[in-house]
Amino acid sequence: MTSQTGVDAPPVRPLSAKVPEITMLFWVIKILTTGMGETFSDFLVTHFVPEIAVGLAGLVLVISLVAQFRASCYRVWTYWSAVVMVSIFGTMVADITSFIIGIPLLAATLVFAVILAAIFALWYASEKTLSVHSITTRRREGFYWATVMATFALGTVAGDLTAERLHLGYLTSAVVFAIAIAIPAVAHRWGGLGVVTAFWSAYVVTRPLGASITDWLASSRADGLGLGTGWVTLGATIAILALLAILATRTTPGADLAPAD
C-alpha cells in the first residue's frame, strides 16, 4: 500500500491477536504453569473432597475461559489465568481417566494423542493454518484452547507413563523431556523444520517436562525430594506471579497485532 506522500505504508492489520508473543519468557512461564498445575491438582484432591475439588476447578476454568474469550485482545493476566486453570483441570481429567476410570496409561496416552491429532486436522481443514499468530477470530480461538486442553491431558498421562510405568522416575523423565523439547528447536534452527510444527511439538512437551520437575521436587518417594505438593505449588505460583508482573510491564493490551497469514 502506498500513502499519498508516495511512501510505502505498512499493511493494515486491524485485529489484535489473542495469544502472547512467543519468547523465552513465554516458555519459562508455560513450563512453570504446567508444573504448578500438576502439584496443585494433587494437593487439592488429597486435601479436599475430590469431587468438590474437580467441580470447583472446572467452574473456575469456565469462568477464566469466558473472560479470555470476551477479551478484545491479548491481556497478560486474563490469558495466563486461563492457562493455569487448563493446567489444573487438565491434570485432573487425565488422572481421572487413568487412575479412577482405570484406562492404562499407554492406552490413555494414545487416546489423547488421537484426540489432539483430530483437533489439529479439524482446525487446519477449517482455517488452513495452525499458526498461533492467527488467533483473531472466535472459531480459531476455540480451536486453540481445545488444542491447549488436549496437550495438557496428553502431557500428563505421557509423563506418568515414563515416570511410573516405564520406571524412569521423575528426575530421569525430566531429563528425557528436556532433551525432547530441545529437538524441535534445533530442527527449526538448523534443520528447516517449519515454525508452526516446531512450536506445537515443543508445546506438547512442556506439560510432561514441567510436571516431571515438580513431581520430583514434591514427591516423598525414593526418587523425589519430598518437599510436598503444597510448598512446591506455592513456590511455582510465586515465580509465575513475578514473571507475569514483569511481562505485564512490557505488554500493552491491543498492541500485539496478528501478522498476515
- The share of the chain scoring above pLDDT 70, in percent, equals 90
* 142-167 residue pLDDT tens: 999 999 999 888 888 888 888 878 88
pLDDT digits (tens, 9 = 90+) for 169-214: 889 999 999 999 999 999 999 998 999 999 999 999 998 999 999 9
- β-partners of residue 2 are 8
Quick one: pLDDT at residue 6? 46
Q: What is the pLDDT of residue 16?
A: 57
Q: Which region among 22-31, 79-88, 93-102 has the lowest average model confidence (pLDDT)? A: 93-102
pLDDT value at 259 more than 50: no
Predicted local confidence at residue 95, as pLDDT: 79
Residues constituting the chain: 261
The chain-wide mean pLDDT, for the chain, equals: 86
Predicted pLDDT at 39:
92
* pLDDT for residue 35 is more than 80: yes
Q: What is the pLDDT of residue 145?
A: 94
The confidence band for 254, taking pLDDT boundaries of 50, 70 and 90, is: low
pLDDT for 253: 59
